[in-house]
Structure formats: structure tokens, C-alpha cells
Amino acid sequence: MIDLIDGTAVQKPLADTFRRPITYLRISVTDRCNLRCTYCMPEAGLPWIPKSDILAYEEIEAIVAAAASVGVRSIRLTGGEPLVRRDLPELVCRLAAIPGIDDIALSTNGLLLADAARALAAAGLRRVNVSLDTLRSERFEAIARRPGLERVLAGIDAALAAGLGPLKLNCVLMRGQNDDELADFAALAYDRALYVRFIEVMPVHENVGMQTDAYVSSDEILERLGAVARLEAVSGPGGNGPARYFAAPGAHGAVGVISPLSHDYCDRCNRVRLSADGRLRLCLFGDYEIDLRGPLRAGASQADIARLFGAGMLIKPERHHLELGIPSSRMRAFSEIGG
């Protein structure tokens, strides 16, 4: 991954062995979450990563600087729930100052967003994705195992008021649990400049007992939406996500589908992921990863970390092999999906 120009070593932009340019880094700043969604984790939570193993903001900054030196341009902060980590605007400010980083976005469940939106925008955050699986209070508590719908809706309003747009809503659609709200979610995208994306529920060990029965394919979602209103394919908002977008004539926003099972998007994958404990993950659903925390804490330079990114390109797989009813042990949170 290094060229010589006039005798000087120059890092080449990242590209994997399948000639896919890698320009997008998703960073999990914590594995903890303040919800316990039924499709994501058990009610008691998961074995959390020890605090000493979690990357400090300075360490994340150093890794992002190395990534930017080899062509990464977009950052997304995820979790768990990223807003449960203290002083997140400080991290955003650090990352926004790194040369080459053009876009910083956040994926959140929205519970803490109302209080944080203005500070995040001032620090340099550009965009927000909010996870929202229902518009009904009692159903929200049943799915998330915690109350909070009104707080999430307030967070959406605060993010829009702070200029954090285009704003995307991520809805994990589940048969018999919230799929009767398709039209209600689509109406949000008609009346406001919101982009509602329906995500196929994916198999992880925590939901394997319900996933097969709950699964609704993106094809079925689009068919049912098309019965409510005439939809046309549109380009959708900016960003790095895998969604396909559709809009009704006159709509201010659009609906989208993210289909890791029925129509995977591996051929256009442009991303790698950094876990909260410093592992560079080359595929969300596989065991392909490289430790960055160990070398960094042992004194690795920016060029050393950049070379590890380059080494990762040699093991990044062509596609995942996720299948209906077969759980992935690697995905710890649905906030890791989408862009």
C-alpha cells in the first residue's frame, strides 16, 4: 500500500483486493446501551467490555488521523448507544479538525439526543441517524424494554432544529410486532424532509428464537408500501449507507430499504469498522479483524497504524454469508447497520 514518489514513501488510498475503495470508517465509541431491544440483546444486557479496554478519545483521534492519511473521508459514530459516553462533542471536535475528514455522522437511539444535538452540531457533527421502531408508546416499551418514545421524538425535533440533516430514521421491521405501522412511517417521509429506512431483522444469537418468524423482506416491504401510494425510485440523501430509496410524488422525504439478507450490498461495500476496544473489523458479520489498540498503546506511529489499515485490505472478504435463521456472533448492536 506504499508508493515511492521522488524517493519519498507515500501511502496509497485504501482499496481491498476486490478493487472497492474504502473511504468510510464506522466507530463504536462504547458497547453499552440504554435500551434492551428484543431483536438486539437480552434484557439483562451483554458482557460489557472492561473500561480499561475501551479506546480513549485521544486514541480514536490517532486512529482516525491514520485512516484519513490513506483516504478515509467519512466517519460515523455508533455504539451500543454513543450518547451514553460522556463528552461526545469533544470527540466530534477532535475528529472534525483532522485534515481529510469531510463528514462526521452519528447513529443513536435518540433518547439523549434532545440535550446533545446543539452541542454536537457546534462541534462539527453533520448528520444523524435515529433508530425508531414504532410510533406507539406502549409498543415502544415492549420492543425496547424501556420507556422513552416522547424523548426520541423530541430528539428528532432538536436534531432538525440544530441543522443535523438529512435526518434518517432506521426502523427494524418485524412481522406481527410493528409491520402494521408501515403507512404511518411512510407518512413521516411525506410530510417532512425525513428519510425512513426499513431494515430487515437480522439473525444474532440474542434473537434467533424470533428472527425467522419476524423477518419481512425488503421486497415485501416495497410491495406493501406500493399498495398505499405510488412510489418512484429516487437517489436519496447524501451519505454512505446501503439503502435503496423511493418516494411518492410531492413527498418532502423518502422511504428506503436496507436488505442485508434478501439483496446484500457487499459489491459496493466501502467501509470498515472500529470496535470500542480497538479492533479494526473488516466485515460486520465475520471474524476478519486486526488489533489496533495493542500496537497503538505500544507506541505505534501514524504510519504504522496506516499500514495496518492497508494490511486489513488483504483479508477483507468479498461478501458476508448471513442467512435467514443462522445467527451471527459478531454483530453486537443493530446500530452497526446502515449509513
211 compared with 23, residue with greater pLDDT: 23
**Contact call for residues 164 and 110 (beta carbons, < 8 A):** no
Burial 31-67 (b: 16+ CB within 10 A, else e): bbbebbbbbbbeeeebeebeeeebbebeebbbbbbbb
Q: Would you state the pLDDT for residue 6?
A: 39
Check residue 334 and report its DSSP letter.
G
Give the rounded percent of residues in the chain with a pLDDT score beyond 90.
Answer: 69
Q: Please report the pLDDT score of residue 264 as a whole number.
A: 62
pLDDT digits (tens, 9 = 90+) for 112-148: 999 999 999 999 999 999 999 999 999 999 999 999 9
For 100-120, the three-class secondary structure string (H helix, E strand, C coil) is CCCEEEEEECCCCHHHHHHHH
Q: What contacts 296, CB < 8 A, 6 or more positions away? A: 59, 62, 63, 278, 305
Grid coordinates standing for 163?
441543522
Task: Residue 113: name the closest of 70, 67, 167, 64 by CA.
Answer: 167
What are the structural domain ranges in the chain? 13-336
Distance CA 130, CA 162 (A): 15
pLDDT interval class at 21 (50, 70, 90): very high
Q: DSSP state, 239?
A: S
Q: At what angle do helices 88-96 and 113-123 cross, to 10 degrees?
A: 20
Q: What is the dihedral sign for C-alpha 42, 43, 47, 51?
A: positive
φ, ψ for residue 147 (rounded to 5)? -80, 170
pLDDT at 325: 43
pLDDT on residue 327: 44
* Distance (Å) of CA 100 to CA 73, 103, 162: 6, 9, 24
Residue 331 has pLDDT above 90, yes or no: no
What are 213-257's pLDDT values in tens digits? 888 999 999 999 999 889 999 988 876 667 899 999 999 999 999
Q: What is the pLDDT of residues 289-326, one digit of tens each?
A: 999 999 999 999 999 999 999 999 999 888 765 554 44
pTM value is 0.88
- Which residues lie below 8 Å from residue 90, measured CB to CB, with a gap of 6+? 57, 123
Contact 272, 312 (CB under 8 A): yes
CATH class of 13-336: alpha beta
